[in-house]
């Protein structure tokens, strides 16, 4: 793609398309296009309709260009195939008609600040550095480009902002949205193939819709959703330094997430955030969701040595995230994922508890949690509960035979028989029933051993019932 652009625009034939012009001449052309009908501008300015002009094929390379109040215009102007080699600043300028940039090139930063536009239409442009929208007032903004280093949307007013409107945007290195105004309309991001770094800071009042993007770093920081926030089709790029997804200090209210592949990110962080009103549809979750307060892309493998991960605050934040996701997915009827996050929540709570003296409540809480984790993963693992149920009763049966010769059976390889085997099997099956009869003639030790077996049988039968009904409402 990049080579095609080089061949099209920057070879000798492409360079010949441009006409060099000074900043003063160019600004005069913008101010009064109807008066520039002779000299250099004759073939470069074309009148397409009343109060509508096209300015094309100019190259400006001598100095910083500022569109200020002296450039206020009532013309509808399209800049086509113009090359700006220096910084461009729209500062305190008012365009009362639509302004368009089509297939233009910008080598330095472009600022839109303290300016007022009607509709701003940017089609298939190339920005080698940043584009900043700040402190301005716009109606509809359509922004479609091939490659941009950084796009920042900060505290501007608009009725609608569409990113990737025409052919889409092949690559956007960084997108930053900061403190959207209360009167703003929606932001729609659609058709953008890749946004390497996507950051949203502060509250968003207008609707924000993001569709089908790949990202190396996606983060919401101090974000509050006051309107509709919808993300669909998000997945990570492949990056040797790692990829990162984070939601920090945010209130997502009723945000909607569809087809999120969070499993594709190397690290997912959620901390100090409200997720209870969210909707998650067809989301792939990672093995662990962390609560780091800042990303450390590239160091994910070394997180186990990070002191922050060993703090009580970190574990508490992590458990809270799992608790909220458990509730959210339960309300959506996703019993499978609900049970998964319940198990993760209990694991962290168990790790938070400390072994204390026997008479304290926390000792018994930790004992109960350890039993539940060991025997059934907190009621989520039927196979584990079944294995323990059979194993414990098998051990009790073997001990009763070995030490007490119950039912006149004993363990011997030399004197074995099928008749004795089936009698032992019958005894084992009988032992599975915690209400089975017991031979009163056996000594007290045998009674105690049998009692332990009954208790564990009853306990594990409860876990079997619990795990088998975990998807039943």
Residue 389 CA from chain centroid, whole number: 41
Q: Do 58 and 19 meet the contact criterion of CB atoms below 8 Å apart?
A: yes
Task: Please determine, for residue 342, whether its predicted confidence score (pLDDT) is greater than 60.
Answer: yes
Share of the chain above pLDDT 70, in %: 88
Distance of alpha carbon 59 from the chain centroid: 42
Q: Exposed (0-12), middle (13-18) or buried (19+): which is 129, by Cβ within 10 Å?
A: middle
Task: Evaluate if residue 39 carries a pLDDT over 50.
Answer: no
| Whole-angstrom distance, CA of residue 227 vs CA of residue 204 | 7
Of 301, 220, 309, nearest in space to 260 by CA: 220
Phi, psi of 91 (to 5 degrees): -130, 115
DSSP type of residue 238: P
Chain segment 242-293, per-residue pLDDT in tens: 899 999 999 999 999 999 999 999 999 999 999 999 999 999 999 999 988 7
Kindly report, residue by residue over 216-226, the tens digit of the pLDDT: 999 999 999 98
Work out the widest C-alpha separation in the chain, in whole angstroms: 123
Q: How far apart are CA 67 and CA 102, in angstroms?
A: 18
Counted residue by residue, the chain has a size of 473
Residue 88 has pLDDT above 80, yes or no: yes
In the structure encoding, which two tokens stand for residue 395, read together?
């051990």
pLDDT band at residue 41 under the 50/70/90 scheme:
very low
Question: Residue 229 falls within a domain, yes or no?
Answer: no
130 lies in a domain?
yes
Answer yes or no: is 232 within a domain: no
Query: Is 23 a domain residue?
Result: yes
Lowest-confidence region among 6-10, 53-57, 177-181, 211-215 = 6-10
pLDDT in tens, 102-160: 989 999 999 998 899 999 999 888 888 999 998 889 999 999 877 788 999 988 899 99
Q: What contacts 460, CB < 8 A, 6 or more positions away? A: 375, 385, 388, 389, 392
Residue 297 in this model has a pLDDT that exceeds 60: no
Integer Cα distance of 90 and 64 in angstroms: 11
Q: Which of 173, 75, 95 is closest to 141 using CA atoms?
A: 95
Residue with tokens 């009827």: 333
**Does 7 score more than 50 pLDDT?**
no
Tell me the chain's radius of gyration from C-alpha atoms: 35
Q: Is the pLDDT at 1 greater than 50, yes or no?
A: no
d(CA 132, CA 436): 79
Q: Is the pLDDT of residue 472 over 90?
A: no
Statement: residue 13 has pLDDT above 70? no
Strands 45-49 and 52-56: antiparallel
Give the pLDDT score at 119. 93
The overall average pLDDT reported for the chain is: 84
Choose one of 143, 172, 193: the last residue of a domain: 193
Give pairs for 382-390: CB < 8 Å, separation 24+. 382/464, 382/467, 382/468, 385/460, 385/463, 385/464, 385/466, 385/467, 386/464, 388/460, 388/463, 389/432, 389/457, 389/460, 389/461, 389/463, 389/464, 390/432
Full domain range(s) for residue 182:
2-193
Q: What is the residue whose two structure tokens read 């039927």?
A: 382
328 is a domain residue: no
Q: Is it the case that residue 371 has pLDDT exceeding 80?
A: yes
Q: How high is the pLDDT of residue 248?
A: 93
Q: Please state, in angstroms and rounded to a whole number, the distance separating the CA atoms of residues 79 and 90.
A: 14
Q: Which pLDDT does position 23 carry in this prediction?
A: 86
Per the structure, how many domains does the chain have?
2
Q: Is residue 437 part of a domain?
A: yes
- Domain assignment of residue 72, yes or no: yes
Residue 405: per-residue pLDDT: 81
- 3-state SS assignment for residue 397: helix
Query: Closest Cα partner for 332 from 285, 277, 287, 380?
Result: 277
Q: What pLDDT shows up at residue 305?
A: 53
Q: Of 193, 221, 252, which closes a domain?
A: 193
pLDDT digit string, tens, across residues 400-444: 888 888 877 778 777 788 888 898 888 899 888 888 887 777 788
Question: Does the pLDDT of residue 200 top 80, yes or no?
Answer: yes
Cβ atoms of 250 and 317 closer than 8 Å: no
In this prediction, what percent of the chain has a pLDDT beyond 90?
35
214 assigned to some structural domain:
no
Q: Which of 193, 226, 255 delimits the end of a domain?
A: 193
End-to-end CA distance of the chain: 54
Candidate from 121-130, 309-318, 360-369 with smallest mean pLDDT: 360-369
Q: Which of 22, 47, 48, 17 is nearest to 35 (CA)?
A: 47
In three-state secondary structure terms, 388 is helix
Provide the token pair at 425.
């099997």
Check whether 8 has a pLDDT greater than 60. no
Residue 229: other Cβ atoms inside 10 A = 24
């Amino acid at each position: 793609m990049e080579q095609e652009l080089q061949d099209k625009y920057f070879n000798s034939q492409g360079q010949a398309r441009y006409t060099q012009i000074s900043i003063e001449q160019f600004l005069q052309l913008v101010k009064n296009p109807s008066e520039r009908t002779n000299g250099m501008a004759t073939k470069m300015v074309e009148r397409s309709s009343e109060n509508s002009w096209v300015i094309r094929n100019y190259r400006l390379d001598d100095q910083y260009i500022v569109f200020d109040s002296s450039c206020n215009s009532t013309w509808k102007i399209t800049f086509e195939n113009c090359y700006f080699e220096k910084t461009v600043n729209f500062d305190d300028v008012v365009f009362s008609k639509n302004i368009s940039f089509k297939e233009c090139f910008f080598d330095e930063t472009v600022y839109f600040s303290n300016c007022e536009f009607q509709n701003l239409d940017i089609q298939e442009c190339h920005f080698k550095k940043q584009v900043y929208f700040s402190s301005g007032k716009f109606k509809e903004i359509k922004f479609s480009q091939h490659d941009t280093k950084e796009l920042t949307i900060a505290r501007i007013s608009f009725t609608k902002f569409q990113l990737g409107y025409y052919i889409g945007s092949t690559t956007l290195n960084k997108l930053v949205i900061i403190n959207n105004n209360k009167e703003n309309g929606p932001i729609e991001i659609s058709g953008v193939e890749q946004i390497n770094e996507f950051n949203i800071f502060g509250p968003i009042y207008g609707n924000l819709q993001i569709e089908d993007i790949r990202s190396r770093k996606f983060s919401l920081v101090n974000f509050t959703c006051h309107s509709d926030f919808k993300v669909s089709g998000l997945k990570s790029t492949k990056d040797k330094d790692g990829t990162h997804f984070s939601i920090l200090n945010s209130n997502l209210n009723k945000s909607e997430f569809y087809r999120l592949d969070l499993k594709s990110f190397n690290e997912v962080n959620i901390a100090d955030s409200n997720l209870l009103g969210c909707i998650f549809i067809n989301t792939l979750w990672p093995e662990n969701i962390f609560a780091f307060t800042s990303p450390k892309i590239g160091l994910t493998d070394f997180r186990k040595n990070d002191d922050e991960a060993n703090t009580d605050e970190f574990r508490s934040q992590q458990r809270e995230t799992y608790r909220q996701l458990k509730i959210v997915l339960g309300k959506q009827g996703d019993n499978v994922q609900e049970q998964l996050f319940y198990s993760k929540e209990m694991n962290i709570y168990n790790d938070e508890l400390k072994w204390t003296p026997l008479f304290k409540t926390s000792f018994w809480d930790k004992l109960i949690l350890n039993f539940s984790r060991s025997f059934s993963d907190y009621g989520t693992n039927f196979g584990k509960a079944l294995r323990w149920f059979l194993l414990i009763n098998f051990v009790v049966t073997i001990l009763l035979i070995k030490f007490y010769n119950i039912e006149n059976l004993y363990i011997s390889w030399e004197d074995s028989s099928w008749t004795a085997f089936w009698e032992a099997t019958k005894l084992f099956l009988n032992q599975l029933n915690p209400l089975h009869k017991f031979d009163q003639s056996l000594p007290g030790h045998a009674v105690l051993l049998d009692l332990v077996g009954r208790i564990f049988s009853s306990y594990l039968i409860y876990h079997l019932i619990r795990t088998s009904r975990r998807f039943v409402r």
